[in-house]
Each structure stands twice: as structure tokens, then as C-alpha cells.
Amino acid sequence: MTKQIINKTAHGVMVWDTEEKRSYLVSNEKAAELEKKQSKTEEPAADKAKEKPKQKNTKTEAKKEETADGE
């Protein structure tokens, strides 16, 4: 989707268009349609998301090195 909702106001909704590289104000009705389209396309994408591997605790490794040096 090329349009993303960035801010909701009382007068309308600010939308960012990635193709045109600009933002503009749309009515609440058009924003509701856009939100419905985005929610339909985002659900399958959540299934494809990969979990990031956990980082190792480097603090314990640093402590082991300090004690090995005799400090």
C-alpha cells in the first residue's frame, strides 16, 4: 500500500503517500476506507514475520574475562 495514516485530527486524517513522497489531509470517510484496506493486507503479513533471535548476555562473558586476568 502506498498510503499510510500518520495522524488523525478532528478535521480529517494526515496521510503519507510513499510514491509521491508527500503528505496530505483526507476526509474521515476516505481514511476509514483506507484503514479497512490496510487492516486486510496487514494480517497476512503478521504471519510471515520472523522472530528475532535473542542476544547473548555479554556482561557475564566480560566478568569471566576480568576474573581470569586476576583483576
Q: What are the CA-CA distances from residue 15 to residues 12, 39, 40, 43, 70 (Å)?
A: 10, 15, 18, 20, 60
State the pLDDT at residue 59.
Answer: 64
Q: 32 in a domain, yes or no?
A: yes
State the pLDDT at residue 42.
Answer: 62
Beta bridge pairs of residue 26: 13
State the pLDDT at residue 23.
Answer: 93
Q: How far apart are the first and last CA of the chain?
A: 57
State the pLDDT at residue 70.
Answer: 57
pTM listed for this prediction: 0.49
C-alpha cell at 70: 586476576
Is residue 15 within 8 A of residue 34, CB to CB? The reply is yes
Count the domains in the chain.
1
Q: 59 in a domain, yes or no?
A: no
Q: 1 in a domain, yes or no?
A: yes
**Domain limits at 3?**
1-44
Q: How far apart are CA 12 and CA 56, in angstroms?
A: 46
The pLDDT tens digits along the chain (71 residues) read: 688 889 999 899 999 999 999 999 999 999 899 888 888 766 555 555 566 667 666 666 656 666 665 55
